[in-house]
Structure 1
Amino acid sequence: MNKVLMVHPSDNVMVALTDLHASETIHYEGKHFTPIEPIKAKHKFVIEDLEIGDEIMMYGVLVGKATQKILKGQAITTGNVKHAASDVHVRDRRTEWVKPDVSAFEGRTFMGYHRNDGQIGTQNMWLVVPLVFCENRNVLAAKEILEEKLGYKKGRDYELDIDRLIAQSLLGASAMELMEEDILVEVEDAKKERVFPNVDGIKFLLHDGGCGGIRQDSDTLCNLLAGYLNNPNVAGATFLSLGCQNAQVEILQKAIHDMNPAMDKPMFFVEQQKSASEGKFIEDIVKKTMAGLVEANKCERKEAPISALRLGLECGGSDGFSGISANPVMGYVSDMLVALGATPILAEFPELNGVEQSLTDRCVEEKDAQRFVELMALYKHRAEAVGSGFDANPSPGNIKDGLITDAMKSAGAAKKGGSSPIVDVLDYTEQLKRKGLNLLCTPGNDVESTTALAGSGATLITFSTGLGTPTGNPITPVIKVSSNSILANRMKDIIDFDAGSVISGEDSIASKAAQMLEYLLAVASGEAETNAMRLRQDDFIPWKRGISL
């Protein structure tokens, strides 16, 4: 295993793949390097002396500038480097592309749910959704009634012996003694058989929107909910309305029709202000949901081509290895899917800052390149208007694990999108229309972004992480991909796929991508359950188009 890596020939920094000692001689591709201070794994050191204002290059792009003199072999930190990114211009685009070898997957299929409008899903979900936050409590009431009776309530694989703590406290145990008690008990999940075997789940969404704020937020929420109903992973929905909120039923119905005039999925609208009592209201919700489940259960998994897959590409809790293992593997899978006629989606616009030029150069049509530049500029302007900016994007965890600037984080994050041509650029809540790689405007916030990916039609989501995160989605399976094997072994109940063998040199990016695609087909067919699905990690946060990085 190499101790260091130079990501691109034009870079003037190297990545430490393991902890490096001061003054140790590092051999790499016939050259010798000597760190002048200890360098932690995942962090970077410069390979030439830099003066104040000199550019930091990584992944072949500008990722920062020196704020003080940095000596050859010295680590770059937030103390000696600041964020910097290159300007972007729409110019002649070069969309020639060498496709990866996908011969092993040609003709392969998965078992999906075929909708009447031609879309094909990987799940068959029913939704119970409030149009306004006032109805969250009633959504939870319906959940309590329906989940266990219909066999969708999953137990934990552990219990906490609270009785033991109570007994100890009654015997006079101190606070410290109580905190030191071991009350974790592993249990087996007693699964109840589902009443509707072809319905993979009932998902009860909660949110804090639909009224108050500005009207545009409510309109956007209705577009997002229409997108969730339109997602081929969804069989139908029960919508709860109070009656007086901004997000009116008619606005949602129009959004659904405008999005997909051919929509024929069962959907029900229940309004509390027209109900005789809370009990009658909940009764109405339950009866209509049951009627919908009867129809949803008629849909069975059938063979479907790989070209029907829509893969969201996400990252969160990133580390210094994310951009050289997990993200490139996901990018190679993205390229494989494009070669097979499928549709990957690259989101998180704040994490594309600094690599805009390479992305605009990959747009098939000039109008899409121009739209991407305009959306990025508008997002950046709004952030700066409230005293922030893309440079504030790296989190404390990102920085601690080697991602010093937003441009550095972006250059690694963009690797999720592979190298294929970009066929479309979508704004938030817009639906997928073209097969091939799409760009989707979302925040970098993990849950807001995964919520958006599912809302625009993603039927699977791969999610790279170097630090670990439990994020999931109610309707779209989220596959957690670790950038390093230490994380994969420590958080086995969170991570689904380990890309750390790319760092150790055991696997190439291409071989690991082939393994990942096999796993994605198993998840798409219902043969494998992701950890986020098992844990019921049904995260759902609509973006209010305010400043969220």
Structure 2
Amino acid sequence: MSFLHVHPDDDMLVALETHPRGERVSHHDLTFELLDEIPAKHKVCLRDVPTGGLLKMYGIVVARANQPLRQGQLLTIDNVDHATAEREEGTSAAAWKAPDVSKWADRTFMGYRRHDGRVGTRNHWLVIPMVFCENRNVNVLREAMLEELGFATHSRYQKITRTLVERYRQGASAAAILETAIVAEEVDRPATPIFERVDGIKFLAHDEGCGGALQDSINLCGLLAGYINHPNVAGATVLSLGCQKAQLTTLQDELHRRNPDFKKPLYIFEQQRVGSEETLLTEAIRHTLAGLVDANQAEREPAPLSELVVGLECGGSDGFSGISANPAIGHCSDLLVALGGSVILSEFPELAGCENDLASRCATPEVSKRFLDLMSSYEERCRLDGLGFEGNPSPGNIRDGLITDAIKSAGAAKKGGTSPVTDVLDYPEWVTKRGLNLLRTPGNDVESTTAMAGAGATAMFFSTGLGTPTGNPISPVIKVSTNTEMAEKMADIIDVDAGGVIPGDHRVEEIGERLLDQLILSASGAAPTKAEILGQDDFIPWRQRLTM
């Protein structure tokens, strides 16, 4: 099988390998000649389409012809434009047929049960600035504490630098340094942490908190409250300047909104009240160490899979994303929902064109209306800023066959599986309902994963076709490749290869079940993700308004 017809109603075929111009293609009762070379992952037009005609993929409208199209022609950004169907409200969630989960009915994962009953997959301590003015102090704390507490690692790149510096000291020229052979060395194993049951101290430096719109600062407080309240977090140290827009009272209000019975250790230091930097940092270190002593008392214990909250992300997507990795993640999502767990589907620009399907799956008309209202308001705000969802595909996406936002979206939405939508959240709201939750975030990978962790995701799946190292400070990110070639080339960032779906070696359902097993291992701390091993702690709050 060298071409794939994803849905019977589709007006295009996906090339699973590169095909030369002039090749004869047979598909069901059709036989035609390729008018262009069709690169792997790209689409060939299955019928003649007039200017203005709509084209479908995954069974939904994804493009409009901006010129006459001929059967056998390569579809490109030059001959088609982004297009979607009209949005419609409606619900049919009761029709969902849940998958058989008897295989996992008695399975558990080893997690950290918190005072409020929720279960985390990690046991982290946070150090958080309320405003960018405190970033330097946060960095000083990082340098002062990680090495001494045994959380720092020394990479092979420090050894490479040391080798080259020694060559320079021996009189080597620039040319000689460039020609110096580098022997690959293993990463030094970190010293045994002083606090063996603490997975890490995470320092969430950021560029927000003041100088922008007040609502952005309020949203930042909500996001930070989500991280502090997160079951993967044992406690937090917060540094505030004092005069910034992101006020401590707002943070405390947002914490109470998420958890009225919040009982974690939370140490807050305001520099303008404390006085000198030395006093501020000395007290911050003293209290953080005391908090770590308490955090180190936590122990993993068995917990049902229904306690998992899993974020769903894709980045560096390619033309196979919606065929292999994303449907596999979707099947795993359905398994989790059937087991009583929660999943989060975000990136609203990458749901464009899928609104009708998702709206029809909403559990109530009110949930459906909120989803469509949030989609419309987000798109309108983009328009006011001179943007549009049609500009979402990146150069890498386009190069690998995702030539309209709707094509990209139709494949991205596959991560959400087929279960009913139980709730729709606006950024930076917190997950309160089990099942599939939709969360309004941008399509930016890190802003989206940052938001999902802030909404309560205790782990994440992240599919990629081109390769991206994205991780998160507190929530383990399981990276899933869409194709085996990339998985082998970038093995240091990929946890699970879904590429076997493309040649037909594996079924989507097989990979989905493998993902669930991998999730259980990772959630139990038995299989650190590649992003965790690399220390990939990406954290970017979403700024939605202009800076003043």
TM-score bucket of the superposed structures, by smaller chain: over 0.9
Q: 1:11 to 1:234 in 2, by over 3 A?
A: same
- Secondary structure of 2:102's counterpart equals coil
- Give the counterpart letter for 2:197 in structure 1: N
Query: What is the Cα deviation at residue 244 of structure 1?
Result: 1.4
Q: 1:163 to 1:194 in 2, by over 3 A?
A: closer
Q: Quote the residue 1:160 is aligned against.
A: 160
Alignment of 1:444-523 (within 5 A): 444-523=443-522
2:187 and 2:476 mapped to 1: Cα distance?
23
* TM-superposition CA deviations, 1:125-170 (whole Å, max 9, x none): 1000000101111111111111111111122244324553674598
Q: 1:27 to 1:178 in 2, by over 3 A?
A: farther
Query: What is the Cα deviation at residue 179 of structure 1?
Result: 4.1
Name the Cα RMSD after superposition: 1.6
Q: Quote the residue 2:266 is aligned against.
A: 267
Query: What is the Cα deviation at residue 243 of structure 1?
Result: 1.4
- Contact preservation (8 Å) 2:353, 2:410: yes
Q: 1:546 to 1:87 in 2, by over 3 A?
A: farther
- Contact preservation (8 Å) 1:429, 1:456: yes
- Give the counterpart letter for 1:216 in structure 2: Q
Query: What is the Cα deviation at residue 36 of structure 1?
Result: 2.2
* Structure 2 gap ranges (5+): none
Query: What is the Cα deviation at residue 183 of structure 1?
Result: 3.7
- Contact preservation (8 Å) 1:494, 1:531: yes
Q: Given the alignment of the two structures, is residue 315 of structure 1 paired with residue 309 of structure 2, yes or no?
A: no
Query: What is the Cα deviation at residue 214 of structure 1?
Result: 1.4
Query: What is the Cα deviation at residue 386 of structure 1?
Result: 1.2
Query: What is the Cα deviation at residue 171 of structure 1?
Result: 4.8
Q: Quote the residue 1:52 is aligned against.
A: 51
2:236 and 2:330 mapped to 1: Cα distance?
34
Q: 1:157 to 1:514 in 2, by over 3 A?
A: farther
Alignment of 1:35-434 (within 5 A): 35-158=34-157, 159-161=159-161, 163-164=163-164, 167=167, 171=171, 173=173, 178-183=177-182, 185-434=184-433
Query: What is the Cα deviation at residue 349 of structure 1?
Result: 0.2
Q: 1:33 to 1:476 in 2, by over 3 A?
A: farther
- Contact preservation (8 Å) 2:91, 2:364: no
Q: 1:92 to 1:432 in 2, by over 3 A?
A: closer
- Contact preservation (8 Å) 1:95, 1:363: no
Query: What is the Cα deviation at residue 104 of structure 1?
Result: 1.2
- Give the counterpart letter for 1:365 in structure 2: T
Q: 1:29 to 1:520 in 2, by over 3 A?
A: farther
Query: What is the Cα deviation at residue 273 of structure 1?
Result: 1.8
- Give the counterpart letter for 2:214 in structure 1: R
- Contact preservation (8 Å) 1:128, 1:238: yes
1:49 and 1:168 mapped to 2: Cα distance?
65
- Give the counterpart letter for 1:262 in structure 2: D
Query: What is the Cα deviation at residue 271 of structure 1?
Result: 1.5
- Secondary structure of 1:450's counterpart equals helix
- Contact preservation (8 Å) 1:138, 1:282: yes
Query: What is the Cα deviation at residue 257 of structure 1?
Result: 1.1
Query: What is the Cα deviation at residue 182 of structure 1?
Result: 3.9
Query: What is the Cα deviation at residue 28 of structure 1?
Result: 4.6
Q: Given the alignment of the two structures, is residue 22 of structure 1 paired with residue 21 of structure 2, yes or no?
A: yes
- Contact preservation (8 Å) 2:216, 2:545: no
1:541 and 1:143 mapped to 2: Cα distance?
18
* TM-superposition CA deviations, 1:269-310 (whole Å, max 9, x none): 011122342222111111110111111111110000000000
* TM-superposition CA deviations, 1:320-348 (whole Å, max 9, x none): 00000000000000000011110011000
- Secondary structure of 1:411's counterpart equals helix
- Give the counterpart letter for 1:467 in structure 2: L
- Secondary structure of 2:23's counterpart equals coil
- Contact preservation (8 Å) 2:330, 2:418: yes
Query: What is the Cα deviation at residue 31 of structure 1?
Result: 5.3
* Structure 1 gap ranges (5+): none
- Contact preservation (8 Å) 1:161, 1:184: no
Query: What is the Cα deviation at residue 174 of structure 1?
Result: 5.2
- Contact preservation (8 Å) 2:91, 2:359: no
Instruction: Give the alignment's TM-score, normalised by structure 2.
Output: 0.96
- Contact preservation (8 Å) 2:164, 2:177: no
- Contact preservation (8 Å) 2:93, 2:421: no
* TM-superposition CA deviations, 1:408-449 (whole Å, max 9, x none): 100000000000000000001111111101100011000000
Q: Quote the residue 1:540 is aligned against.
A: 539
2:432 and 2:494 mapped to 1: Cα distance?
31
Q: 1:138 to 1:4 in 2, by over 3 A?
A: same
2:244 and 2:381 mapped to 1: Cα distance?
27
- Give the counterpart letter for 2:347 in structure 1: E
Q: Quote the residue 2:523 is aligned against.
A: 524
- Secondary structure of 1:532's counterpart equals helix
Instruction: Give the alignment's TM-score, normalised by structure 1.
Output: 0.96
- Contact preservation (8 Å) 1:161, 1:185: no
Q: 1:136 to 1:161 in 2, by over 3 A?
A: closer
1:193 and 1:170 mapped to 2: Cα distance?
35
Deviates more, 1:96-105 or 1:18-27: 18-27
1:167 and 1:297 mapped to 2: Cα distance?
44
- Contact preservation (8 Å) 2:359, 2:368: yes
Q: 1:174 to 1:143 in 2, by over 3 A?
A: closer
2:3 and 2:256 mapped to 1: Cα distance?
54
